[in-house]
Amino acid sequence: MTVPIKVLHVLFLCTHNSARSILAEAALNHLGRGRFKAYSAGSSPRANQEPNPLGLRALQEAGIPTDGLYSKSWQAFAAPEAPVMDLIITVCDNAAGEVCPVWPGHPATAHWGYADPSEVQGTEAQRLQAFAHTLQAIRQRLQRLVNLPSERLSPQHFQQSARDLAKEA
């Protein structure tokens, strides 16, 4: 008899939820092998905010599905009917410094800072390269996360495991 694997819910936060957090959500859902379910949100998504088209293109070119990705407020995940998160990771310095809602279940937290690829100036090819570079950095860290042994993903160790990954380049 096999014991069902607990799916770990991870929320990636950024300010506008249009670039880094979207990249992380899609990448973890792709790499997570059924052990992880990722979401993303922003502290201040703009009205009618959509994921950055270059971010979506970088994901598609990396073979990562983009179906269902959209920008949303982090308030949606603080609601009583929201899925309970096991881990919340801020991926931009602005969101890391903001006062977050009280999350149901008191999840583990970590900060994994990445430069904002949407701020890169230049040709479309140069800007797309910035998104691809950020996606690669996110993927490397997420690959290490999904490869952690089960005991490092337990509630007692999950926060420290995620924070340790932030220290790795």
pLDDT tens for each residue of 98-124? 566 667 777 999 999 999 999 999 999
Q: What pLDDT score does 4 carry?
A: 61
Q: What is the dihedral of CA 140, 63, 9, 154, to 10 degrees?
A: -40
Task: Give the pLDDT score at 2.
Answer: 55
Which residue numbers in the chain have pLDDT < 50? none
| DSSP secondary structure string for all residues of the chain | -PPPPPPEEEEEEESSSSSHHHHHHHHHHHHSTTSEEEEEEESSPPTT----HHHHHHHHHTT---TT----BGGGGTSTTSPPPSEEEE-SHHHHTSPPPPPTT--EEEE-----GGG--S-HHHHHHHHHHHHHHHHHHHHHHHTS-GGGGSTTTHHHHHHHHHH--
Can you give the pLDDT at residue 9?
95
CB 152 within 8 A of CB 133: no
Comparing C-alpha atoms, which of 131, 165, 158, 166 is closest to residue 36?
Answer: 158
Question: pTM of this prediction?
Answer: 0.91
Q: Mind listing the domains of the chain with CATH numbers?
A: 8-154 (3.40.50.2300)
Tokens for 100, please give them: 């977050």
pLDDT for 3 equals 55
Residue 160 pLDDT: 92
List CB contacts of 114: < 8 A, sequence separation 6 or more. Answer: 20, 91, 92, 134, 137, 138
